[in-house]
Structure formats: C-alpha cells, structure tokens
Structure 1
Amino acid sequence: MAAGVKLVCLDCGQVNRVPGDRLDARPKCGTCGAGLMEPAVRELDPAVLDKAARTDEVPLVVDFWAPWCGPCRMMAPEFVKAAAALGGRARLAKIDTEAHPRATQGRNIRGIPTLILYRGGREIARQAGAQQSQAIVGWVRNAAGVAA
C-alpha cells in the first residue's frame, strides 16, 4: 500500500489520509462523504482555505476573485476547464474576496484574479491576471511538478 496523503475536505474541513495510489479512485471524506479529488472547482470559506493551505499534500490552486471583477468572470470557465484537465493531479478552488475579505489578509494580494498554488503547508507559486485553461494547467504542472 502506498503512503498516505493528507487532504482537507473542502466541504467540512476534516483532514483525511488517502493512500497515494488511490488518489485517482475518487476518494471521499470519511466524515461527510464529499469527494476529495473531484475534477471540479470548489468554493471555499476562509477557515477551510487556511486549513487546506497548511495541510494539503496534493497541490491546491486557489483563485482569489470577486463577482464585480470582469477578468475574474472571464477566467471562471477557463478555471473550470483547467480543473477537469488536471483531474486527480491537483485540486482547484476559489474564494470570493468580496464575501470573505479576511481571506486576502496576510497573503499580499494586490489585484484579482490571483492564483496561489499551495503544497505541503506553503505557497509555492503565484500568478496574477486572467489566464486561459492551457496556461493554468501548464503553470500548475511546471510549478508543482505535476505529471501530464
């Protein structure tokens, strides 16, 4: 059996340990049953964001956005396409900075949309501005060393 990988459930915030060789098998949270490695974008709240950024051992890409931001709205469908393309290699989530202004505190976010890539408890890369899905996927693969 492969070593366990820690993942925070993006729905309930519970830390789960998933065997590394089971990440492609669509693992579910042991507490609430939500999918842990779904190829979709998940909406976060600040508490879950903080916990996942500190804990996740799989790359976590967070889009800091706001509903009034034109470039953010333009990038939203591209971010969804990138989540599907990355499948079980990374998790993509977003947080509404207007609804949760605390989420930007301490993260030095100067403009939106901003993508931050977390892994193993630290920020490993950052990118500002709207991006096409191929650019997002390439950036994640390059910055996190994620296989194609």
Structure 2
Amino acid sequence: MSKFGELIDGQIPVLLDFYTEGNVESSAMHPILRDVAAVLGDKVRVIKIDINKNMELTEALRVKNLPTLVIYKDGEMKWRHSGVQNANAIIDVIQEYI
C-alpha cells in the first residue's frame, strides 16, 4: 500500500480504473480510457487496476461494482464513479483538477 500512496500523492491527477478481465462493462471502458489519455496526454495518469491482482487495495477502497473510476490528486480522492462513463464526461471531470 505504500506504493499506492506514492502513486496518488502528486500534483498530476491520477485516474484509477478498477476492472477485471471478462467483465463486459470493464472491457467497454478500455477504448474510452485510451481516448481520455490521448486527449489529456501528460496532464493525467491513467492507471488500470485488476481487482483480482490487487484485492487488498480493492477491499480498502470498498470497490464493489465494475468498472469503478477514481480520481486522486495530492493524495486525496477527488471523484469516484461506478459504471461506464463516456470519454467527454471523464475529461470534463479531470479538467477540474488540472
């Protein structure tokens, strides 16, 4: 978990995508998040977190539904959403924290 603290403790917003392989909604987010990353470039870090490989973190953040998107900046959770979102909505939210 100390690596997680280092990951989210920066001035650049970090968008976490909690997913698992085989989940239809999670798979639908892959191209959307690629678009978000392409539009925002180095203004945001997009990180995918497989819940099956990161169970401790998933439980600590109480991730129950997939996909779950979370934005952190300066070590604080700024936004959280469960379910599929479109790229423009995600970009709009991230731009509030850039």
Q: CA–CA distance in 1 between the matches of 2:3 and 2:14?
A: 12
1:1-148 map, 5 Å: 48-53=3-8, 55-142=9-96, 144=97, 146=98
Partner deviation per Cα, 1:98-127 (whole Å, 9 max, x = no partner): 122112122121211011100111111111
Task: Name the TM-score, length of structure 2 as normaliser.
Answer: 0.88
- Higher fraction of helix: 2
> Percent of aligned pairs with the same residue?
24
SS in 1 for 2:60: coil
Q: Cα RMSD over matched residues?
A: 1.5
Q: CA–CA distance in 2 between the matches of 1:121 and 1:106?
A: 15
Aligned length: 98
Larger Rg computed on CA atoms: 1
Partner deviation per Cα, 1:49-87 (whole Å, 9 max, x = no partner): 34212x222111100110021000011111011011111
**Structure 1 residue ranges without an equivalent (≥5):** 1-45
